[in-house]
Chain A
Amino acid sequence: AQRVTQPEKLLSVFKGAPVELKCNYSYSGSPELFWYVQYSRQRLQLLLRHISRESIKGFTADLNKGETSFHLKKPFAQEEDSAMYYCALNSGGSNYKLTFGKGTLLTVNP
């Protein structure tokens, strides 16, 4: 069965500092990994997906199959990055389900 682990419930950094939100997964097939974000009083929304290898709002994430990780990184955190971040796994095929991690609440202090 697939599983997504986000080891940090809370992460606090100062503005301008690098930030890394950790995500590890367990899945026997070829996974698709995603990061979703929920800003205060806003809806949960897709931030980025590993297939596109794009940078969104300065965030990047690389899929490391050897370490089964998909950590989210940003070199210089901004206060507006404060939010709840969820890592998610899609096992693909006819299975439309996403398996979400428990989330990491990021706080960027001024």
Chain B
Amino acid sequence: DVKVTQSSRYLVKRTGEKVFLECVQDMDHENMFWYRQDPGLGLRLIYFSYDVKMKEKGDIPEGYSVSREKKERFSLILESASTNQTSMYLCASSFVGVSYEQYFGPGTRLTVT
């Protein structure tokens, strides 16, 4: 059974803080993704990675960066959190041969005050 875990279920941070969201998958998937999920806006891709140290911008990368030093771990970094980054953040992973089937983590609900 594929397991994608995220470091926190709920997180509250102050404006201007540096925020790290961690995601770990245990199925040796090559691809990993970070989305934010907002009511009425659906899922929007922030960044994705198709290999260690490789990354590509998604649709809304502004204000975010990522790190993938190990295959199983993909970190999302908010360099200076702002209130408009309050959202649900979802991590996902997929196997390169079956790239359409993404396995999602439980999500991190981030509130920036």
Q: Could you list which residues of chain A lie within 8 angstroms of chain B, going by C-beta atoms?
A: 6, 9, 32, 34, 43-46, 49, 86, 88, 90, 96-103
Contact = CB atoms under 8 A, between A and B. Distances in A.
Contact of A32 (B31, B58, B100, B104): B100
Interface residues of B, number: 26
Contact of B48 (A32, A45, A90, A96): A96
A98 B48 CA distance: 11
A102 B31 CA distance: 23
B100 A98 contact: yes
Given A49-B100, A86-B42, A96-B50, 19 more contacts: A34-B100, A43-B4, A44-B43, A44-B92, A44-B104, A46-B100, A49-B101, A88-B100, A90-B99, A90-B100, A96-B48, A96-B96, A97-B45, A98-B45, A98-B100, A100-B42, A100-B44, A101-B42, A103-B42
11 contacts: A34-B100, A43-B107, A44-B104, A49-B100, A86-B43, A97-B58, A99-B45, A100-B35, A101-B42, A102-B41, A102-B42
Most buried by A among B35, B43, B48, B103: B43
B44 to A, nearest CB: 8
Interface of chain A, main secondary structure: strand
B101 A96 contact: no
B46 to A, nearest CB: 11
Contacts, number: 49
A6 B42 CA distance: 10
Nearest to A90: B100
A43 B106 contact: yes
B85 interface: no
A6 B11 CA distance: 30
Interface in B38-79: 40-45, 48, 50, 58
Contacts of A34: 100
A52 to B, nearest CB: 11
A6 B45 CA distance: 17
